[in-house]
Amino acid sequence: MKVRKAVIAVAGWGIRFLPITKAQPKEMLPLVDKPLIQYSVEEAINSGIEQVILVTALGKRAIEDYFDRSFELEYVLERKGETKRLQEMRELSDLVNVCYIRQKEQLGLGHAILTAKDIIGEEPFAVLLPDDIVDSKVPVLKQMIKVYEQYKTNIVAVERIDRQDTTKYGIIEPKKISGHMYQVLSLTEKPEPSQAPSNLGVVGRYILVPQIFDVLEVTPPGKNQEIQLTDALQLLIKRQAILAYEFEGVRYDTGTPLGWLKATMAFALKRPDIGQELREYLRQLL
């Protein structure tokens, strides 16, 4: 069955970006001139996804408004003759079929995915975490869907990380299949470097089959008393194969202020309209 739906989890508090996230969703922080959430939505669209399910929470209304029509703004732009911007605004609201569902308590990524169970139904689906922005020729999710079409099982995206950073990731115990592909023998959520089975960390892209919901429903709370997707996948291994795909592209962790700044600089420097001037400005600072 084709991967048609994608879940994007945007229900977190954004604590590392306080105080700004007290009043604004972290996912609405700009990466140059587009909010972080738009990069995830566009990756889904460019990978062939037909329906995006945004798992939101209290205080995330700005995300819903962003992808909605704004007739007042369109009227003002039309009156001012801003035809290009008017077209951009209309295209934004017509990007994709977006469905919203609220996670009423922040009980972890696994719980967030579980809230989308009734919308997903009995289909394979993708999961994207907007903190992870990947600069790649082919969208990472599109790369993974191609892999799924070959193997028809659960796929997690992995990246080689520094050993001292294992406490920030779910880490896989891999068995190499070929090229960028691994069979996942086990997963450990944020292990100490000395206990990590490898330096392959799971990052924010997944393709999952619907049986994951049965497992999530019986997964006990893990770290921080949250239902961890990594823990659920570890249970799922006993029933189904899980593969890991080492994707092609450069990932930026925009979930931290420094990572967000790095991504902003990298994307801005590639822009033909501002890149050269920004480069010269940075040289002056140095």
Tell me, what DSSP letter sits at residue 14?
Answer: -
Q: Which residue has the tokens 């084709």?
A: 2
Mean pLDDT of the chain: 91
- Say which CATH number the domain at 62 has: 3.90.550.10
Q: Which residues contact 257 (CB under 8 A, 6 or more apart)?
A: 16, 17
* pLDDT tens track for 42-54: 999 999 999 999 9
282 lies in a domain? no
280 lies in a domain? no
284 lies in a domain? no
pLDDT reported for residue 90: 80
Tell me, what DSSP letter sits at residue 155?
Answer: E
Whether pLDDT at 93 is above 80? no
Rounded Cα distance between 254 and 202, Å, is 16
C-alpha dihedral (190, 148, 210, 185), degrees to nearest 10: -40
175 lies in a domain? yes
Provide the whole-model pTM: 0.91
Number of domains in the chain: 1
| pLDDT top residue among 262 and 80 | 262
The residue type found at 132 is D
Nearest to 212 by CA among 244, 187, 183, 237: 237
Longest dimension (CA), the chain: 63
| Contact of 180 with 144, CB cutoff 8 Å | no
Q: What is the mean pLDDT of residues 142-152?
A: 95
Return the H-helix or E-strand segment holding 141.
helix 140-151
The residue type found at 243 is L
pLDDT reported for residue 106: 83
Q: What is the mean pLDDT of residues 260-265?
A: 96
Split at pLDDT 50, 70, 90, the class of 162 is very high
Q: What is the mean pLDDT of residues 148-168?
A: 94
Strands 154-160 and 242-246: parallel
* 38-47, 103-112, 197-206: the lowest-pLDDT one: 103-112
Whether pLDDT at 98 is above 90? no
Tell me, what DSSP letter sits at residue 198?
Answer: -
277 lies in a domain? no
| pLDDT top residue among 159 and 69 | 159
Tell me, what DSSP letter sits at residue 16?
Answer: G
Whether pLDDT at 76 is above 80? yes
| Contact of 177 with 100, CB cutoff 8 Å | no
Give the three-state DSSP class for 35.
Answer: strand
Bridge partners (DSSP) of residue 183 are 175, 243
| pLDDT top residue among 216 and 220 | 216
Bridge partners (DSSP) of residue 125 are 5, 208
Structural domain span for residue 44: 5-270
Split at pLDDT 50, 70, 90, the class of 235 is very high
Percent of the chain with pLDDT over 90: 70
| Contact of 88 with 187, CB cutoff 8 Å | no
Whether pLDDT at 268 is above 80? yes
Q: How many CB atoms lie within 10 A of CB 88?
A: 11
